[in-house]
Structure 1
Amino acid sequence: MFRRGEFRALWGAELISLAGDQLARVALAVLVYGRTGSAGWAAAVYALTFLPAMLGGVLLGGLADRHRRREVMVVADLVRAVLVALMALPGLSLWLLCALLVVVVLLSAVHSAAQAALLPAVLPDDLFERGLAVRQITSQAVQLVAFAGGGLLLVAVTPNVALALDAATFVVSAVVLRLGVGHRPVPGGEERSRSVAHDGVEAIREILADPPRRALLCLVWLVSCYVVPEALAAPYAAHLGQGSLAVGLLMAADPAGSVVGAFLFHRLVPAGQRTRLIGVVAVLAGLPLALCLVEPGLVGSILLWGLSGALSTAYLIQAQAVFVRLTPDAQRGRVVGVAAAGLVATQGAAVFLGGLLADRLGPAMAVAIAGAAGMVVATASGLAWRAARRSGDGAAADSPAADAS
């Protein structure tokens, strides 16, 4: 993969901007809390770094099908650089800060849709899954380092300076993409007389009418059940009588497992078997969390959460790869945008419900219920995916060109 200059450019630009984004999240939390003294304000602004992506994916993802995808990413990066630079201005009102942040996150959804739609052209055949695995491994590592490094950096610089650094990462990303990614024409397809928002609605209809993609999307979205433990790390550690160190170890378990799972699955499982194992691995990913019902202690919980993270990442990467392959190139921007928006929405809902369950039943029981719920949904979705493949609707996923089988 790294012999391909275009992938190096996409990968490098993503890591640069991701590091800046994680730094900006820490900086915004510190900046807002420092100015207001309100945990509610700090939490609200942090949520704004995620929530608008739901709307952006549905309403604006179609831009990646209407324009050259490299240019969509470059323009999104440059506009975000300007907006984040404005956010870095001292004394900016909180309401204006929030408004700018919403636009930045909306543009991030457009950028992600264009990148996801372009990647299969850059990495054909089995290289596509390997590319997704590499992105998952490195993005998890960057997030861990950036969160920790962001906290240390803010000891030396102000949050405004950190936001300015984030703006600079977008400029660097735009330059890398413009120079490193080749020119491609606008994707072909039907006439674009309708609005871009209508593209999102049409993408939902296309997915619902297509059994294999519908089943795969359910498998992708159910991973939301498996991220619930990370949100409950603090009360879970307190339930075990542990302190802040335990919270950090529990939160690190899932991303650490993700790195291992992404590597081993694509290293050890033959390419022709990965697609067939999506449903099975999705079910198994919930089992370690369900075992938290017996309250295995800190070390046992870390191992179980890490194992769940490894299994969920393994099946998620494969499900995403097949879903993208089964989508015609001219529709990938809007369809991937809708899928990403739904993933954000389901994660938010799952975390919210997990919090309610933890308050009523305790964090260990809430984690166990999340794991069991994921297994139930994974079983139904996996059977639907298997039926679609056997009927021939998902045959393209098993073709040599699609899965190197």
Structure 2
Amino acid sequence: MDNLTSTPPRPLWRQHDFRLLIGGRLVSQLGDSLQFLALPLLVIALTGSSTQAGVLLGSQTVVYLVFGPVAGALVDRWDRKATMIWCEIGRGVLTATIPVAAALGVLGMPQLYAVAVLNGVLSTVFGAANSSALPNIVTTSDLPSALGAAGAMSNALRIVGGSVAGVAFAVSRMLPFAFNAVSFLASAAFLRSIRTDFQQVRATTPTSPRALVIDIGRGLAWLWHNPVIRTLALLDAADSLRYGAGYLLIVMLARGLHANPTQVGMVFTAAGAGALLGSLLAPSLTRRFPLGALSVTMLWVEAMAFPFYAVAPTWWLLLVVAFVESVVSPVYSIALDSYRLAVTPDALRGRVTSAIDTLTTGGAAIGTMASGALIALLGAPALTVLLAGWLTLLALVATLSKTVRTASATDWSDGSAQPTQGHDEGSRPL
């Protein structure tokens, strides 16, 4: 009788609310990919200064590092759906001021800095709410597939976004900004049409600085007392140091092989294709292998692949290395994020997500800032070897850590969330 009355699970892509969520994200990220290239080009056109372009882009990272933990606490208190909609509307309006000011002949750097900082604040809040909402829109068993689909979409845009952005900017300097403004509003419309609640419960106490500090502390305490998530998050943050340094490092290695700008671009296109493949493989690997075994294996594969950057004798072999090495990161990230989202209590999810994202973003920012000085001091090949040693150290730490080795993912087959370690902290009072 149960077999007659039970409803079989629907495939992910047949779920109405997930299609709306991913559709809105697709439109919004396409706009972001156009603006990401157009913004530094616009700054250079206005000022002739690449330094100002770098400072402008870096300001958004600084905003995230400073405001990230607060954003996580806020989205655990506020209505996540309404918050995401208003963030998209706000980002759309802010972005639209750029082409409007250009049309009026009053566009200048103070406005661009203001838009970048305010958009950074709204983006930080939106990102925390978006990650926290996903487990309420799809089932636990669908989390790996949902994260894999989002990752595949992002990496597909990464592959085509640069060329499309260049064409759009060539047509009109303001076209990427106008498109991005519209994409934010379209994303808000998609979100408005989702029927599912984005969270289970919200705090009813008044929002005050003291209350937010207490909330942030509770989120950090839960994270600290969950050994699997804590250890893997710290390893991920340490790995982000290498990731942050990688962009400039690959550019310099390619230049050392006399690659022209088109060939350098092809190397990064290959990296995007590898990340796309990793995103597609990640859901099945996450379901098939324990989290610990997958994490250790991926770190070792990364450590063994990275040294080949330093010895590749031609740019096209550098392209092959970039493709292979880039497959690893999405597999590791999707496995870890699926586990974390499944076991973190909904009321704490914004704070835990923001704390981990702040760690990894901070690691990447330090790597990016340090890479130029280290390349000048050591040379690109020597820095490659140094970073390969760093990855080997991380792989050894993961291998020797019983917490990592014995970590087991949730039971994806029935959608239950039953990790082997660190789950009892979820019952702590908020």
Q: Which amino acid aligns with 2:233?
A: L
Q: Tell me if 1:18 matches 2:35.
A: no
Q: Tell me if 1:323 matches 2:340.
A: yes
Cα contact 2:253–2:310 (8 A) shared by 1: no
5+ residue gaps, structure 2? 1-11, 421-430
Check 1:141–1:147 CA distance in 2 against 1; reply closer, same or farther (3 A cut): same
Q: 1:79 aligns with which of 90, 94, 109?
A: 90
Q: 1:218 aligns with which of 227, 234, 243?
A: 234
Q: Tell me if 1:108 matches 2:123.
A: yes
CA distance in 2, matches of 1:378, 1:62: 32
**Counterpart residue number, 1:169:** 183
Aligned length: 399
Check 1:270–1:334 CA distance in 2 against 1; reply closer, same or farther (3 A cut): closer
TM value normalised by structure 1: 0.90
* Cα distance, 1:227 vs structure 2: 5.0
* Cα distance, 1:28 vs structure 2: 1.7
**Counterpart residue number, 2:164:** 149
Q: 2:78 aligns with which of 67, 78, 99?
A: 67
CA distance in 2, matches of 1:34, 1:85: 19
SS of aligned partner of 1:187: coil
CA distance in 2, matches of 1:126, 1:302: 35
Q: Which amino acid aligns with 2:192?
A: R
Deviations 1:345-388 (A, max 9, x none): 1111122333322222221222232232123123314543x426
**Counterpart residue number, 2:113:** 98
From the CA coordinates, give the structure whose radius of gyration is larger: 2
Check 1:162–1:301 CA distance in 2 against 1; reply closer, same or farther (3 A cut): closer
Q: Tell me if 1:55 matches 2:66.
A: yes
Q: Which amino acid aligns with 1:341?
A: T
Cα contact 1:75–1:174 (8 A) shared by 2: yes
CA distance in 2, matches of 1:46, 1:191: 36
Q: 2:154 aligns with which of 139, 145, 148?
A: 139
**Counterpart residue number, 1:209:** 225
SS of aligned partner of 2:289: helix
CA distance in 2, matches of 1:23, 1:163: 8
**Counterpart residue number, 1:343:** 360
CA distance in 2, matches of 1:108, 1:208: 26
CA distance in 1, matches of 2:339, 2:419: 12
* Cα distance, 1:41 vs structure 2: 1.1
TM value normalised by structure 2: 0.85
* Cα distance, 1:178 vs structure 2: 0.4
CA distance in 2, matches of 1:378, 1:249: 29
Cα contact 1:83–1:100 (8 A) shared by 2: yes
5+ residue gaps, structure 1? none
CA distance in 1, matches of 2:27, 2:144: 22
Q: Which amino acid aligns with 2:365?
A: G
Q: Which amino acid aligns with 1:205?
A: A
SS of aligned partner of 1:51: helix
Give percent identity, aligned residues only: 24
